[in-house]
Amino acid sequence: MRAVLAHGPGDFRRLEVEEPTGGLVVAVEAAGVCAADRMLWTGRHPWGELAWPFIPGHELLGRVVATDGRLPVGARVTAEVKLPCEACPACERGQQHLCPRGLHLGSGIPGAFAERVSLPASARVHAVPDALSTRQAVLAEPMACALHAVRRAGVRPGDHVAVAGLGGLGALAVQAARAEGAAAVTAVVRGPHKARLARELGYDDATTDPADGAYDVVLDVSGSVDAVAVLLRAVRPGGRAGVYGVYDRPLPLDLNLLAEFGELTVAGGHLVAPGCFPEAIALLSGVDGDVVVTGEHPLERLVDALASTDRPRLKEIVLP
């Protein structure tokens, strides 16, 4: 079958590879390109040495073509990124997403940038309704991440929420925040183009300069240290902040902002979404996939999609 094999940063090759066998074999309908895939491509990531080569791609949408009994042949399916060991202290605590021994779809096991993928028994799979369009259904994994991010940030009913980072996650965080009961969701953006986009995506408001102390909850999904600094001033005393991304440098931080002046609760979020998939999939019918998905590429063009720096770009997908 055709697949893209990542040999190292800047070296992804379209090849013929062996057909996958065993477990649940899924024919890929579409696979989302994640910021994490771009980091594999550029080599700028925090994950240390990786076991190159591998087939990347963890935002899987497909149909079962051979089954181990978990779902019938023909079922539409997605899968969680983490394949936990189920035996370590993290797994025993119920925090399988933090399992240090687990594997990841798209690095530890072959991923979705291929015609077919095999999901072993340790993979957590979820059925996806046929009624969703490809452009909606392919957003299951990032929507689960958006929901996890919003929950980690501690959004409660009636909250005014500010979100920084209008990429693939920021495009979905507004729906996730509303689902958790947010009364208003503001996008913190860099300029007028993104402000228009934020409104198209369903944000109540967009600002380049959020007022100090104006929000109950702030959430960064931009991966920008500067954005986090802005958000920590925009949250009210006693408020909550979620930090959900991969950051390329430390943030010099006056801890008085968190302590003496703010009594803030700051929660980090790991980019793997535990227990969020069923609700995330249910939210997708309310998402305009044609706004969120900004590009579709055949496998042959994945490298171009990864290398492209065109803006704006929300979610690009690969259709094998």
Question: Which residues make up the interface to Zn ion (CB under 5 A)?
Answer: 34, 84-85, 88, 91, 99
Q: Which is nearer to Zn ion, 77 or 234 (CB)?
A: 77
Q: Which is nearer to Zn ion, 110 or 239 (CB)?
A: 110
**Integer Rg of the chain from CA:** 19
Q: Are 60 and 117 in contact (CB under 8 A)?
A: yes
Q: Which is nearer to Zn ion, 85 or 229 (CB)?
A: 85
Residue 156 C-beta: closest distance to Zn ion, Å: 26
Name the E strands within 245-284: 265-269
In the chain, which ranges are continuous DSSP H helix?
Answer: 35-42, 89-92, 134-137, 140-153, 170-179, 192-200, 225-234, 277-283, 289-292, 302-307
Residue 210 C-beta: closest distance to Zn ion, Å: 26
Q: Are 107 and 82 in contact (CB under 8 A)?
A: no
Residue 275 C-beta: closest distance to Zn ion, Å: 15
Residue 96 C-beta: closest distance to Zn ion, Å: 6
Q: Which is nearer to Zn ion, 79 or 132 (CB)?
A: 79
Residue 132 C-beta: closest distance to Zn ion, Å: 18
Q: Which is nearer to Zn ion, 65 or 121 (CB)?
A: 121
Question: How far is Cα 293 from Cα 135, in angstroms, rounded to an integer?
Answer: 6
Q: Are 171 and 199 in contact (CB under 8 A)?
A: no
Question: How far is Cα 73 from Cα 75, in angstroms, rounded to an integer?
Answer: 6
Residue 87 C-beta: closest distance to Zn ion, Å: 6
Residue 256 C-beta: closest distance to Zn ion, Å: 35
Q: Which is nearer to Zn ion, 34 or 137 (CB)?
A: 34
CA separation, residue 101 to residues 36, 82, 84, 90 (Å): 19, 10, 7, 10
Q: Which is nearer to Zn ion, 91 or 112 (CB)?
A: 91
- At what angle are helices 140-153 and 170-179 packed, to 10 degrees? 60
Q: Are 320 and 31 in contact (CB under 8 A)?
A: yes
Q: Are 26 and 117 in contact (CB under 8 A)?
A: yes
